[in-house]
Amino acid sequence: MLTSRWWALSALVLSVLVIGLDATVLNVALPTLAVDLGASTGDLQWIVDAYLVTFAALLLPAGVFGDRLGRKRLLVAGLAAFGVASAVAMLAGSIGWLIAARALMGAGAALIMPLSTAILPSIFPAAERAKAIAVTTAGMAIGLPLGPIVGGYLLDHFWWGSIFLINLPAVAIALLAVVVLVPESRDPASPRLDVPGTLLSVTGLAALVFGVIQAPADGWGSARVLTPLLAGTALLVVFVLVEMRSRAPMMDLSLFRDRVFLWGSVAASLVSLGMMGVLFVVPLYLQAVLGFDAMATGLRIVPMIVGLMAGGLAGERLLKVARLRPIMTAGLLLLAAGLALGALLPGSYGYTAVWLTVAGAGVGLTMVPAMDGVLATLPEDRTGMGTGVLQTLRQTGGAFGVAGLGSLLSAVYVGDLPSGAPSAVRESVAAGVRVPEFAEAARAAFGAAMDAVLWSCGAAAVLSAALVALFLRGGTVRKAGESVHELAGTA
């Protein structure tokens, strides 16, 4: 029996490894997509955000679906959807098809991630569950540094669609392993699916993201921008009202009455916003401005991932001996320091690697305590919902990071170009540096745009640090081997 459940765990690890790979592999391909598909900055934003929006909006209902219909069955469906979407993305001949495939991949990932974790209690006793969760988390973490390296190698030796081709064998193996090794489990007493909440959250998020991405092209005052922004805001307001009145809400808003959960969630969301913004802009900078190829770019993003892992490990250990508030505040200020270093001084890649590592360490030092410490303040019967809400807010923060910061990048870049720059140069820096007479101007304009993004991310990190320092009071944190009793915020 011992052997069978650990084999089942290996199947679940394979499932989340696919998501970890996909989380970073696409960023390296953004400059290539800009050239090969003629994608503008707005198109690149949608290629990233189509995944994040569907992932964020479907993450909570996916858990309820699995509880009612069967977790294994829905995990298989999620893997199948992810595989089909990867095949479509690999063969996509247009930006529209690629965006649609990315949205389907996000839906598949929204099933894979929560259900892989939800299955663990049904196959592992309480004494082994923490180890099983740690192994599953490590499976996803391994994919993060592998994504840029593998993606860079494939882009240098094959066509851009090969970055999605690598998903197919991984998904096929994971599918076979889940079908053969993982037992079915469900919870007939789980609440009914919140269909109105699901539809409102998906459409509201998509409308808001569309408006933000479209703003640099049409202007903030245009009907094409104002209409989706107003509609998205209205839909999300209605979503909140529906959730407040629902007997079985998809998102339990009462969680936010706990100040630790509220401000910890705010910090985690702003960190995700900044991290996704940086991962969107840095590959373009490394390839278009510094002139590295795809493989070299992938390798040069790894310091941020290494810093993230080191910061996360440090945060996890510090949480056992220190309070939550100073740890998260320090992480946010470290992130801000790294971003400020990136914006203050242009330089060689060696300097870039330093500030990427510092910023990554700040992300890890903030995010891991936010996830572990904030959720530890909740009663055990609410940790499942709390985990889902916190993950959803993180993904939403990432989506708005790409949308908002990508739009800022585009606006500053276009604004700093010479007035006579042709449309190809104005669409993206990856295309601009290929026009000899405008190459230097495109590099300089992108440098200014990247600085604007880094300063904005840094300001958000400082604001978040101030909010955490001021308001993250009360609540409790579980210490290793102890009951929930220590104050999280007061120092």
Top-confidence residue, 366 or 8? 366
User: Any idea of the CA torsion for 107, 113, 117, 119, to the nearest 10 degrees?
Assistant: 40
Confidence of residue 384 (pLDDT cuts 50, 70, 90): low
Confidence of residue 483 (pLDDT cuts 50, 70, 90): very low
Give the up-direction half-sphere exposure of residue 413: CA atoms within 13 A in the CB hemisphere. Answer: 35
- 468 and 489 Cβ atoms separated by less than 8 Å: no
Confidence of residue 88 (pLDDT cuts 50, 70, 90): very high
- 319 and 372 Cβ atoms separated by less than 8 Å: yes
Instruction: Give residue for tokens 């209409």.
Output: 227
| pLDDT value for 286 | 84
| pLDDT value for 163 | 87
What's the mean per-residue pLDDT of the chain?
Answer: 79
Residue 472, C-beta contacts closer than 8 angstroms, at least 6 positions apart: 259, 260, 263, 264, 267, 324, 325, 328, 488, 489
Mean pLDDT on 299-326: 84
Question: Could you report the per-residue pLDDT of 400-448, keeping only the tens digit for each?
Answer: 787 788 888 888 888 888 877 787 788 777 777 777 888 888 888 888 8
Question: Could you report the per-residue pLDDT of 167-200, keeping only the tens digit for each?
Answer: 888 888 888 888 887 777 776 666 666 778 778 8
Confidence of residue 337 (pLDDT cuts 50, 70, 90): very high
Least confident interval from 50-54, 326-330, 343-347, 443-447: 343-347
| pLDDT value for 357 | 92
Top-confidence residue, 313 or 1? 313
| pLDDT value for 133 | 66
Confidence of residue 347 (pLDDT cuts 50, 70, 90): low
Confidence of residue 247 (pLDDT cuts 50, 70, 90): confident
Phi and psi at 487, nearest 5°, equal -70, 140
Is residue 480 pLDDT above 50, yes or no?
no
User: What is the DSSP pairing of strand 476-478 with strand 484-487?
Assistant: antiparallel
Confidence of residue 481 (pLDDT cuts 50, 70, 90): very low
Least confident interval from 65-69, 187-191, 321-325, 478-482: 478-482
| pLDDT value for 101 | 93
Top-confidence residue, 361 or 42? 361
Question: Could you report the per-residue pLDDT of 442-462, keeping only the tens digit for each?
Answer: 888 888 888 899 999 999 899
Question: Could you report the per-residue pLDDT of 136-172, keeping only the tens digit for each?
Answer: 766 666 776 677 788 888 888 888 888 888 888 888 8
| pLDDT value for 362 | 92
| pLDDT value for 455 | 92
Question: Could you report the per-residue pLDDT of 201-229, keeping only the tens digit for each?
Answer: 878 888 888 888 777 767 777 888 888 88
- 210 and 224 Cβ atoms separated by less than 8 Å: no
